[in-house]
Chain A
Amino acid sequence: MEGIGLIHYLTLSAVVFCIGVFGMLTRRNAIGVLMSIELMFNAVNITLVAFARYVTPATITGQVVAIFTIAVAAAEATVALAIVLLIYQHHRGIDVDRINFMKW
C-alpha cells in the first residue's frame, strides 16, 4: 500500500455522490437542490477520470466521457435555472416545499 490509488478516488467519489443525494433530499431551496445534483455529476466525473487513469491508461475514453458530462451538466443547469426563475415569478420564492400546487 503506497500512496493514493484507485480505491481512494472511488471512495472519494462515492462519498461526494452520497453528499449530493443527501443534499438533494434535504435541501429546501431549489438552487440548493440543483447544486446537489451538480455534486452528483462531479462525483461521476471523479469516478470516470480515476478509471481512465488506472484501468485504461492507454485510451482516453474516461476523460472524454467526463468532458461531455461537464458540458451536458452545464446545459442542463442553464435550463434548470431558467425554470427556477420562472418559478420565482409565480411563487415569489424558490422554496421547493411551497411549490406544491399539484399534490403528489
Chain B
Amino acid sequence: MTPFNLTQFYADWATILPECFLLLWACVITGAAVMGRTDESKSGTFAIWTIIGTLATAVWVAVTQDGAAFGGTFVFDRLAVVFKEIILAGVILTAAASVGTVSRLRAHRGEYYGMILFSAVGMMLMVSATELLTLYIALELSTVTLFVLAAYHKTNRKSAEAGLKYVILGGISSAILLYGVAILYGLTGTTELAKISQEIQRQFMGSGSFPPGLALALLLILAGFGFKLALAPFHMWAPDVYEGAPTPITAFLSVASKAAALAAFLRVFFVGGQPAQLIWIQAIAALAALAMIVGNATAIVQTNIKRMLAYSSVAQIGYMLVGAVALDPWGATSISYYAMAYLFANMGAFVCVIAFAERTGSEEISDFSGLSRRSPILAGFFALFLLSLAGVPPTAGFLAKYYVFAAAIQKGYLWLVLVGVATSVVALYYYATVIMKMYFPSEQTEGGFPVARTLTIVLAVSALGVLLLGIIPGPVVDWIKAAAQSFVPPT
C-alpha cells in the first residue's frame, strides 16, 4: 500500500478532469430535465456548450498533464487525445444535428442530451483505459445509454424494436468480452494491459507455443469487440438498430461509439495482446476481409438509405482493420486517420439523411431521385460524403484507404489489400447509384425544400473536415503518427 500523496492525488484528478466536467454537466442537464426545469432548446444549447467546455478542458489537460494516473489504470497519452477529439467532435455534431429530431419528441426532450453526454463520458474514459476493468465499465457506460437512446422514439415500433435488438446483442457481446477478460486475468494474474503483455511474453514466448486458453481468451475478446464495432460476422444487429434508432443516434452510434471501441481495441491488441500476435493477427485479417465482402455485397441490395449506410459502415470497419494487421505505429496511424476521415464522411451522410427525412418523411433510396433539382445544396453535400466513403480523391476517404492498404502491404498482406481494392469498386457502384439517382433522375420530381440552419452548419463542418483532411493531410497525419509512436511498443 503506497502512502497517500497529495501531489499525486491532484495529478490523478487533473488527468481525469475533462470526464469529471462532462459528467457533472450531464447530471445537471438530466436532473434539470427530469424535474422539468428546462425546455429542450436550452438543454441542447447547454449540451453543446458543455462539450465545448470539455474540449477546452481536454486541451488544457493535454498541455499540462502527461501520462498515467490512478496507478496506471487511466492514461492521458497522445492516442487518448486524438481519439477524445474525434469523439467530442462526433458528440458535438450529433447534438447539433439532433435539434429537429428532439423537437418532434413528445416527452423527455431534455434527457436526450443528458444521455448523449453520459455516453460521451463512457467513450472518453474508454479511450484512456489501460486496465481491463476500467475499460469494461467505460464501455458499459457508453453502451447502456445508447440502448436507451436507440429506443428513444417511444411511439415508433421500429425504434422500440431497435432498442430490444441492441440491448440483447449488446448484453451478449458484453458477456463474451468479459469471459475473455476473465480467462486472460486467470492466465496472467493481472488486468493491466502492460503487465498482461509482459506476462504473456514471460510465460509463453520461450516455449514457442501458445496454450489454447490464451487463444480462447483473445478470440473471445476479439468477438466482443467485433460486436461493438459491428464487424462481420458479428454485425447482424447493426442494420436493424441503425434503421430503427433516431437518425442522429444512428450517426452517433456509427461514428463516436465506433471510434471509442476502436481506440480500446488498439490498446488491448497492440499493447496487451502484442506478444501473442500469432494468435490473433490472422483472425483479424480474415474478419476484415469478411467485413469488406459481406458489408459491401449486402449494401448493394438495400432500398432504405439508413440500412445501406449501416452495411457500408460494416465494410468501413473492415477497411480500418486492414491497418491493424500491420501492428506497427504506421498501422495505428492509418487506423486513427481512417477513423477521423470516417467521422466526418459518415456523420455528414447521416445528417443529409436527417435533413432529407425532415422535409420528405422518407428514408427510401428511390425517393432521393432528382434531389439535385429539389435541394442542390443537400445533393451536393450528400454526393461529397458518399464519394469520401467510397474513397474517391481528393476526399479524406481516398487517403484513408490508401494509408491502411499501404500499411498492410508493407507487412506482406497483399491478398487482403486485393480484397480491399476489389470491394472498393463494388462500394463505388452503390454509392454512385445514389449519386446518379440524385443528379440524373429517370422522371422529374417537384417540390424544392430548404435545409434547417443548424443542419447546414453541421453539413458544412463535416464537408470542411472531409476536404481539409483529404487535401492537406500532412499536419494531421504527423500529429496522429506521433501519438501512435508513443503508444505502440517497438517490435
Contact = CB atoms under 8 A, between A and B. Distances in A.
Interface of A: 10, 17, 20, 24, 30, 33-34, 37, 40-41, 43-44, 47-48, 50-51, 55-56, 61-62, 64-65, 68-69, 72, 75-76, 79-80, 82-84, 86-87, 89-91, 96, 99-102, 104
Given A61-B190, A75-B140, A102-B244, A40 B179 contact: yes
Nearest to B178: A44
B240 A104 contact: yes
Contacts of B140: 72, 75-76
Given A51-B182, A51-B185, A86-B163, A34 B168 contact: yes
B116 to A, nearest CB: 15
Q: Tell me which of A10, A37, A104 has the highest count of chain B C-beta atoms within 10 A of its own C-beta.
A: A37
B135 to A, nearest CB: 11
B137 A80 contact: no
Contacts of A69: 136, 178
B210 to A, nearest CB: 18
B160 interface: yes
Given A56-B189, A61-B133, A62-B185, 8 more contacts: A20-B175, A30-B168, A37-B175, A55-B185, A64-B133, A76-B147, A79-B167, A83-B163
B185 A34 contact: no
Interface stretch (B4-12, B22-30, B99-107, B151-159): B151-159
Closest CB pairs A-B (n = 6): A51-B186, A40-B175, A37-B171, A47-B182, A83-B163, A80-B167
Contacts of B243: 102
Interface residues of B, number: 40
Contacts of A44: 175, 178-179, 182
B394 to A, nearest CB: 37
A41 B167 CA distance: 14
Contact of B171 (A34, A47, A61): A34
B436 interface: no
B164 interface: yes
A56 B189 CA distance: 6
Given A44-B175, A75-B144, A83-B167, A65 B133 contact: yes
B147 A79 contact: yes
Q: Tell me which of B161, B163, B182, B191 has the highest count of chain A C-beta atoms within 10 A of its own C-beta.
A: B182
Contacts of A87: 160-161, 163-164
A96 B164 CA distance: 9
24 contacts: A24-B168, A34-B171, A41-B178, A47-B186, A48-B182, A61-B191, A62-B185, A65-B133, A68-B136, A68-B137, A69-B178, A72-B144, A76-B144, A76-B147, A79-B147, A79-B148, A83-B167, A86-B151, A87-B163, A89-B160, A90-B161, A96-B164, A102-B243, A104-B240
B482 interface: no
Contacts of B133: 61, 64-65, 68
B298 to A, nearest CB: 10
Given A99-B161, A101-B161, A83 B147 contact: yes
A10 to B, nearest CB: 8
A48 to B, nearest CB: 5
Contacts of A10: 186
B235 to A, nearest CB: 11
A61 B185 contact: yes
Contacts of B148: 79, 82
Q: Tell me which of B133, B148, B176, B179 has the highest count of chain A C-beta atoms within 10 A of its own C-beta.
A: B179
Contacts of B20: none
A96 B161 CA distance: 10
Interface string B118-143: 00000000000000110011001000
B185 A65 contact: yes
A55 B244 CA distance: 45
B138 to A, nearest CB: 11
A48 B137 CA distance: 16
Interface string B168-186: 1011101110110111011
A17 B178 CA distance: 11
Contacts of A43: 175, 179
B52 interface: no
A38 B455 CA distance: 41
Contacts of A102: 158, 161-162, 239-240, 243-244
Nearest to B184: A51
B236 interface: yes
A20 to B, nearest CB: 7
